[in-house]
Structure 1
Amino acid sequence: MGIVTPFPSPHGKPSQVGFERLELTRILDLYGRMVAAGHWRDYAIELGRDVAVFAAFRRTTERPEFRIEKRPSLRGKQGMWALVGEHGVVLKRGHDLGPVLAPVERRLMKVVEG
């Protein structure tokens, strides 16, 4: 694996927030399972100065059904991860990605009768 050297920024803080490899792997794994189940069809990634967003869509022309947001500035407060619903309501917030993704993963569970 290669070494990535960021461009120096004037204030010592990164000029763009992004997802780490393990974070993106976990998010894309969930996305793949949701596509296989027929819930999602498209996604978008936005990397900004303060926030990185992964948005999942049922259809390309609609608003995203869920947005997974990473805001490092909230790391010491409410937690840097947030799951935001279609209408902009924060459904779950936390310090770890796993519990924040739990409400979406619950949609994949099916009741098995014995």
Structure 2
Amino acid sequence: MLLRKYSGYLSSLRKEFLKKRKKGKLPKDARIALMDWWNSHYRWPYPTEEEKLMLSEMTGLDIKQINNWFINQRKRHWKPSSEMRFGVMEGVSGAAHGTILEHM
């Protein structure tokens, strides 16, 4: 009796559960597009806000999803070279030093 009474409700619940995709899995075409960008920018994998918008439009993902994907990808698969770290630091200190001298 209960089964007959709630069978319609149970089948719609089942359909709803099947529709929802597993958390943590982005669509394959979106992952491919992100990996293409990653591979062509491997030396400095920090997309600009404009690039994030472009990736969002291409993939259908939210900006937050794009940001999280890049954060995870860099943590798991990217190690900046030691020369790169020193180069970035020199660029930062050189830029700061240059602006201080200009104001003197």
**TM-score scaled by length of structure 2:** 0.28
Determine which structure has greater relative contact order: mean sequence separation of CA pairs < 8 Å that are 6+ residues apart, divided by chain length. Answer: 2
* Bigger radius of gyration among the two: 2
Q: Which has the higher helix share?
A: 2
